[in-house]
């Protein structure tokens, strides 16, 4: 039978219609799934930014962390009325990451131009980068006080072995996560054994690994490297990873960020995303309490965070996983986690598996059977307003919940127009007069090209309102140091960052000031504005009623017994406090408010009988809530009194002998 041309056209059109329909049914959902899968996130537009420790291999004598709670039936607080849950979104990496720009002279050690790395994704750059790390550190010396900085311009730096270095004070600066990439070759033999894991980048051992900084970089462990660790990281006193992406090319690998060696912290891990691996982050040991903020974990195989004994202060943790987000494994381990958003989940798993001490606040989960599994108890509910796993301590009638002070985010600023940058370039070593000229230039960003500077005297330089950022790129100032005096007001915050030491800030105006990444001195005045501290070592004196937010604050008084922090009428919020030495930790008076969310009090030295009578935390007609750990290695190396509170002339004390070495929560306010 012959078919007419008109009918043939109809049949072909019908067949074409069927093909299109089938494509819509089967192909479009697959493409949608492909493009909706989580992509590596990129942090953009974040303003970046030595005191010798001693330790002992002995276990703490008094007080010591114990496996048993201080109460036979520890109260659990899930307060639905005290805390108003809030939602948040972490700063995440854009699909089209923005390349950061820097002046040509900000760091002289460019791994491409000075050391011959190609960064083309094809050439093996291991030898070139290792040469850059070894340069001027080849001899048998410690280099504990000598800073060094390397610049990794945009590119993919292919490597085939672990990159490490001698000494402290090493800074890696990239042009952005997703822009500057350290990538392990696929199927590298020495990274193939999961039972003998090996890092791509590794800092030095010990408790003198000061000021180790890695920023604006991606570390990619490639494919078919099941024994790979992204970064094996230790930094002490201050040092940080910020704006860093750690990813596995195929999900394999042991750990993204390994902080299990002794002694990690105190340090700050901020704006870090980890994709893949068995574990996203692993921490261990009792010291020294790292701080985490704005962390994103996804696609881990066993757990997002595994903690075996340390005290972790965590804020704004975001997880996209089907495995537990946090496993707090050891009885002495402590987790403080606030503002958590845990998505994905598994019907048979809890988001947090806790076998130690846990404080959780404002936690939201989906997909998990519960937010918290504490020891043998599954805590009902997939969200938590506030939860305390163990006894809540108090000396007077107080609300049995944290002070929950308002939290403000640290201001950021980065001027992408290099015409608005001005270098401080001394005419000779020790010349500082030209610094005031640079500050008065009208430029928004004043920078110290990386190096060692000298000031004969402690000279004061006035910072005009036109300056919005002063950055040292890990420089140090020897001699008398320099003082930045902030007198002019502005509605734009001033950011001072990345000075290893030698800089003082006099905060003499209502202008907001941000101090980051390094060791500083600080002085406030009656009109001082808001103060933000991140990853700093400073003895803090709040003499007037202004607001302070501190993330990763290290205060050491090893030379004498004196108060480390004074809060005279101010509002002080701390995420991650670590102290060493004698003298009270915080003295809050004149109606001040103090909230401490971790981490470690480390008395270290022998106390005299008189020194032992000074409490670690003192409050006089003021308000405080405290969560922290104590490591005391000897009967005389600790305070006899943990907390002393006075109300209306009545003084009461919490003694160390009545305290298990971990403070789940102390409340002392009306």
Write the pLDDT tens digit of every residue in 447-499.
999 999 999 999 999 999 999 999 999 999 999 999 999 999 999 999 999 99
User: What are the pLDDT digits (tens) for 307-317?
Assistant: 999 999 999 99
29 band by pLDDT with thresholds 50, 70 and 90 = very low
Task: Tell me which of 27-41, 92-106, 345-359, 375-389 is least confident.
Answer: 27-41
CA 641 centroid distance within chain: 30
The DSSP line for 31-49 is HHHHHHS-------S----
Say how far apart CA 432 and CA 525 lie, in whole Å: 25
What is the per-residue pLDDT for 635?
83
What is the per-residue pLDDT for 11?
57
Mean pLDDT of 20-37: 39
What is the per-residue pLDDT for 136?
84
Q: Is the dihedral angle over the CA atoms 271, 277, 279, 284 positive or is it negative?
A: negative
What mean pLDDT, rounded, does the chain reach? 88
| Secondary structure letter of residue 2 according to DSSP | P
Whose CA is closest to 211, among 134, 110, 143, 296?
143
User: What are the pLDDT digits (tens) for 192-210?
Assistant: 999 999 999 999 998 889 9
Say how far apart CA 254 and CA 282 lie, in whole Å: 10
Say how far apart CA 398 and CA 82 lie, in whole Å: 13
Q: For residues 95 and 558, which has the higher predicted lDDT (pLDDT)?
A: 558
Task: Tell me which of 96-105, 131-140, 285-294, 630-639 is least confident.
Answer: 131-140
pLDDT at 320 over 50: yes
CA 101 centroid distance within chain: 24
pLDDT at 8 over 90: no
Q: Are 386 and 82 in contact (CB under 8 A)?
A: yes
Q: Which residues contact 640 (CB under 8 A, 6 or more apart)?
A: 612, 613, 655, 656, 657
Give the Å distances, CA to CA, from 539 to 27, 60, 533: 62, 26, 12
What is the per-residue pLDDT for 141?
57
Tokens of 544: 């007037």
Mean pLDDT of 153-164: 98
Say how far apart CA 520 and CA 499 lie, in whole Å: 8
SS (H, E, C) 379-448: ECCCEEEEEECCCCECCCCCCCCCCCCCCCCCCCCCCCCHHHEEECCCCCCCCCHHHHHHHCCCCCEEEC
User: What are the pLDDT digits (tens) for 47-104?
Assistant: 222 222 333 333 443 333 333 333 333 444 443 323 333 444 445 554 578 899 999 9
Say how far apart CA 228 and CA 255 lie, in whole Å: 7
Whose CA is closest to 421, among 484, 469, 491?
469
Query: Could you give the 3-state DSSP secondary structure of residue 5?
Result: helix
pLDDT at 530 over 80: yes
559 band by pLDDT with thresholds 50, 70 and 90 = confident
CA 500 centroid distance within chain: 17
Find out whether the peptide bond into 162 is cis, omega within 30 degrees of 0.
no
Q: What angle do CA 531, 459, 482 make, to 5 degrees?
A: 50
What is the per-residue pLDDT for 652?
98
CA 256 centroid distance within chain: 15
Q: What percent of the chain has pLDDT over 70?
A: 85
What is the per-residue pLDDT for 529?
98
Whose CA is closest to 147, among 588, 449, 456, 578?
449
Say how far apart CA 153 and CA 193 lie, in whole Å: 32
What is the per-residue pLDDT for 134?
93
pTM of the model: 0.88
What is the per-residue pLDDT for 531?
98
Q: What count of other Cβ atoms lies within 10 Å of the Cβ of residue 11?
A: 10
């Amino acid at each position: 039978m012959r078919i007419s041309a008109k009918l043939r056209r109809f049949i072909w059109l019908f067949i074409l219609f069927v093909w299109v329909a089938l494509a819509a049914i089967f192909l479009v959902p697959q493409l949608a799934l492909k493009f909706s899968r989580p992509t590596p996130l990129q942090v953009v537009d974040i303003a970046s930014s030595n005191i010798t420790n001693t330790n002992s291999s002995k276990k703490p004598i008094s007080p010591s962390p114990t496996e048993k709670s201080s109460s036979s039936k520890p109260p659990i607080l899930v307060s639905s009325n005290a805390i108003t849950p809030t939602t948040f979104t972490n700063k995440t990496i854009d699909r089209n990451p923005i390349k950061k720009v820097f002046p040509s002279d900000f760091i002289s050690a460019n791994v491409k131009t000075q050391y011959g790395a190609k960064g083309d994704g094809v050439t093996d750059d291991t030898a070139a980068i290792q040469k850059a790390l070894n340069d001027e550190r080849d001899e048998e010396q410690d280099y504990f006080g000598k800073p060094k900085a390397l610049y990794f311009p945009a590119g993919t730096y292919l490597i085939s072995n672990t990159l490490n270095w001698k000494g402290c004070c090493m800074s890696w600066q990239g042009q952005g996560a997703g822009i500057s990439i350290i990538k392990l070759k696929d199927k590298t033999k020495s990274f193939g054994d999961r039972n003998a894991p090996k890092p791509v980048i590794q800092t030095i051992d010990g408790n003198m690994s000061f000021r180790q900084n890695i920023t604006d970089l991606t570390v990619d462990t490639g494919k078919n490297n099941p024994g790979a660790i992204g970064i094996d990281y230790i930094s002490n006193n201050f040092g940080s990873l910020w704006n860093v992406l750690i990813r596995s090319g195929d999900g394999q690998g042991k750990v993204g960020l390994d902080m299990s060696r002794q002694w990690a912290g105190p340090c700050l891990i901020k704006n870090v995303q980890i994709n893949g691996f068995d574990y996203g982050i692993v921490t261990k040991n009792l010291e020294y309490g790292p701080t985490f903020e704005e962390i994103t974990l996804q696609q881990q195989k066993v757990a997002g965070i595994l903690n075996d004994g340390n005290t972790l202060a965590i804020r704004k943790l975001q997880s996209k996983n089907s495995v537990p987000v946090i496993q707090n494994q050891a009885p002495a381990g402590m987790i403080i986690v606030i503002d958590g958003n845990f998505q994905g989940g598994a019907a048979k798993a809890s988001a947090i598996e806790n076998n130690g001490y846990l404080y959780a606040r404002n936690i939201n989960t989906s997909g998990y059977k519960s937010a918290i599994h504490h020891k043998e108890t599954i805590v009902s509910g997939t969200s938590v307003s506030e939860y305390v796993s163990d006894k809540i301590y108090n000396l007077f009638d107080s609300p049995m919940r944290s002070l929950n002070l308002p939290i403000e985010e640290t201001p950021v600023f980065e001027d992408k127009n290099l015409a608005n940058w001005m270098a401080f370039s001394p005419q000779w070593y020790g010349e500082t007069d030209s610094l005031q000229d640079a500050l008065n230039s009208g430029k928004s960003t004043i920078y110290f090209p990386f190096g060692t500077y000298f000031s004969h005297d402690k000279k004061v330089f006035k910072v005009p309102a036109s300056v919005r950022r002063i950055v040292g790129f890990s420089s140090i100032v020897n001699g008398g140091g320099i003082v930045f005096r902030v007198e002019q007001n502005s509605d734009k915050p001033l950011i001072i960052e990345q000075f290893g030491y030698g800089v003082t800030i006099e905060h003499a105006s209502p202008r907001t000031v941000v101090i980051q990444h390094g060791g500083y001195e600080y002085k406030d005045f009656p009109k001082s504005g808001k103060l933000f501290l991140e990853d700093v070592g400073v003895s803090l004196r709040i003499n007037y009623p202004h607001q302070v937010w501190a993330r990763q604050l290290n205060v050491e008084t090893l030379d004498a017994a004196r108060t480390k922090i004074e809060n005279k009428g101010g509002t002080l919020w701390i995420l991650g406090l670590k102290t060493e030495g004698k003298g009270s930790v915080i003295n809050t008076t004149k109606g001040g408010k103090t909230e401490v969310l971790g981490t470690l009090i480390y008395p270290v030295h022998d106390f005299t009988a008189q020194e032992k009578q000074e409490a670690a935390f003192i409050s006089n007609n003021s308000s405080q809530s405290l969560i922290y750990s104590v490591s005391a290695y000897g009967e005389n190396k600790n305070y006899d009194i943990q907390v002393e509170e006075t109300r209306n002339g009545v003084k009461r004390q919490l003694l160390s002998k009545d305290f298990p070495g971990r403070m789940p929560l102390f409340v002392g306010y009306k």
